[in-house]
Structure 1
Amino acid sequence: MSDVPVPRPRVVCLCGSLRFGREFAAERERLTLDLTIVLAPEATDVSVSDPSLVRALGELHLRRIDLPDEVRIVNPGGYVGEATRREIAYAHSWGKQVTYLHQPATDDS
């Protein structure tokens, strides 16, 4: 255990399309070096075709959104897809602060 006192760190959950893997990694690294706890979905090399597993993974990510102080949308070029829009709506419904890597391309996000 360290003798260095650390105040409660900020907790951020990353959301967005996993096709932006490099951007997720860069934002995770930036936030970690800023002493932030980062929650994010994990990309897998396995294609998930089982609909019940797909739904369960979506629910798991909503539980991540329950935990943080902030939900950060990783959206290069302002892209926000349908699943991410649902996550944003869920975060807003719980009063979570939602921020964006880039300004959304449309006003409906």
Structure 2
Amino acid sequence: MSHPHLLTPEEKLADAKKRLSLPHIVVICGSTRFMSEMTQADLRETRVGRIVVKPGYDMKSPDGLSSDPAEAEALKARLDDLHRAKIRLADEALVVGDYIGDSTRAEIAYARSLGKPVRFTHPEVDPDA
């Protein structure tokens, strides 16, 4: 007797996106020092019909960090968790900028571990190239 195949959460999400006829979803990754470039990439991706999710909070801006180091670290951890959720939601990642720091390198590795394609605005910075 064969058992029915139970769908993984990722398969359920892919099925739901297909049933809803959602356009391709792109998550923008990279250092928040490239926020204006991320906005330009968002415009380009949206123009061709893709849904775009990107960092919504710039911890490098003057009002981005709390003066309390513990609060700042807790906020960064929450934002990192939120961005990983955006990566799980997306169909592919687009890395913006000509610099890859530790956080962006971790985002790229996470996206690739999930089997997500990763594109670069500056392919020469691809850590796996």
Q: TM-score, normalised by structure 1?
A: 0.83
Query: Structure 1 CA distance, aligned partners of 2:121 and 2:81?
Result: 23
Larger Rg: 2
**Could you tell me the percent identity over the aligned residues?**
38
* Corresponding position of 1:39: 53
CA RMSD of aligned residues (A): 1.8
Query: Structure 2 CA distance, aligned partners of 1:41 and 1:106?
Result: 20
Mapped contact 1:80–1:104 kept (Cα < 8 A):
no
Deviation (angstroms), 1:39: 0.5
List gaps (5 residues or longer) in structure 1: 1-6
Displaced runs of 4 or more, over 2 A: 43-46, 104-109
- Equivalent of residue 29 in structure 1, options 37, 43, 47: 43
1:57-81 CA distance string (max 9 Å, x none): 1011000000111100002xx3111
**Do residues 14 (structure 1) and 28 (structure 2) align?**
yes
Cα 1:106–1:10, aligned 2, differ >3 Å: closer, same or farther?
Answer: closer
Q: TM-score, normalised by structure 2?
A: 0.71
1:9-39 CA distance string (max 9 Å, x none): 1100000011111100100001111111000
Deviation (angstroms), 1:104: 3.2
* Corresponding position of 2:74: 52
* Greater relative CO (CA pairs within 8 A, separation 6+): 1
Secondary structure at 1:46 match in 2: coil
